[in-house]
Amino acid sequence: MWACPNLQSTKELRRLTPLQTAGVRRNITADGGAGPPPGGHHDDRTPNPQGTLPCGRVLSDHSTPSNALLRCRRPFAMGTFNACTVREEARLAELAHCAEERGVEILGIQEHRRVHTDDRIVYRRVERWTFIIASAWRNEAQAATGGVGLMLGSLARKALHLVYHHTDRILIAEFSGNPVTTVIVVYSPTNVAPSEEVEKFYEDLATAVRDVPAHNFLAILGDFNARLGPQDAPFTYHDSTNRNGEYLAALLMEHKLLAANTIFQKRTGKRWTFQDRATGMLRQLDYILVRQKWRNSILNAEPYSTFSSVGSDHRVVSMRV
């Protein structure tokens, strides 16, 4: 139990926190502002950090069971999309518009390329959507690269329980529901990156997966920069597995996962997720991973070209649960 001074009622508490994201934990810095917690990256800043209470705790306005995200008889869609960049406000607005049109309630985003000065997580509203990102980073030429994040619809925002920065390439969010939904957004090194870098990425991802309770619904939304051959996935675009694909296949086997957009028999035009702008070659690099025991809960999963107006060379991969 906890107690906050100078609060007379829940009504007054709600007046102090009008725009906060449901259930996300907050922290207080020495100067009274919101900031990252000591010893970790679980930054819980919201679009309205001044609403944080003096004791550093918040009672959510959306704590009732009706805000559960995953429920029987109420399907919803989630997706993954390498945006290539959403640094420009127009592209960010277009991304929100596409998510609205497609009805994607949770969208994992890779390569937003927005750089922050620290490890905090940034929240902002884009129309009715909530945009949540961890910082991108700069390469040797000081160009912004990478960055993972989420675009949440109103239902997902109300169900959001916590979100934190696991590594620069991995963001984790948890949503209330029955069962609880855990979403991991990932951006893998490319297939030509040093092996040590790829191994470190998969070690970090395996750690994150092991930390998710067995009864949670787990969805890993990512650009894995990996090709899976028919020996590793039933309905894949490629006829062989590349180096990154071998790491991905090992992850699937070890943790009893499946790539949802490879389990449905689709024509080849509904399998590829990336088109090389220089050569026109098509590849399947983006996947949504779920635990095998949830196979029958996946209603459909496939890529669409409906986000092409954002300007990316990737297609969105959408899964209906």
Task: Say how far apart CA 116 and CA 277 lie, in whole Å.
Answer: 29
The reported pLDDT for the residue numbered 75 is 86
Q: What average pLDDT score do residues 77-104 get?
A: 96
| Residue 44 pLDDT level (bands cut at 50, 70, 90) | very low
Provide the whole-model pTM: 0.79
Stretch(es) of the chain classified as CATH 3.60.10.10: 66-320
Task: Look at 12-21, 64-73, 246-255, 264-273 and tell me which has the smallest mean pLDDT.
Answer: 12-21
The contacts of residue 312 (CB under 8 Å, 6+ apart) are 81, 82, 83, 84
Higher pLDDT pick, 24 / 304: 304
Task: Say how far apart CA 259 and CA 94 lie, in whole Å.
Answer: 28
Give the containing element (helix H, strand E) for 11. helix 10-16
- Determine contact, residues 81/314, Cβ cutoff 8 Å: yes
pLDDT in tens, 151-182: 999 999 999 999 999 999 999 999 999 899 99
The contacts of residue 160 (CB under 8 Å, 6+ apart) are 21, 22, 23, 24, 130, 152, 173, 174, 175
pLDDT in tens, 224-244: 999 999 999 999 999 999 999
Tell me which amino acid residue 249 is.
A
pLDDT in tens, 97-144: 999 999 999 999 999 999 988 778 999 999 899 999 999 999 999 999
Task: Say how far apart CA 206 and CA 219 lie, in whole Å.
Answer: 13
| Residue 43 pLDDT level (bands cut at 50, 70, 90) | very low
- Determine contact, residues 228/248, Cβ cutoff 8 Å: yes
Whether residue 265 is predicted with pLDDT greater than 60 in this model: the reply is yes
Name residue, tokens 């277009």. Answer: 94
As assigned by CATH, the class of the 66-320 domain is: alpha beta
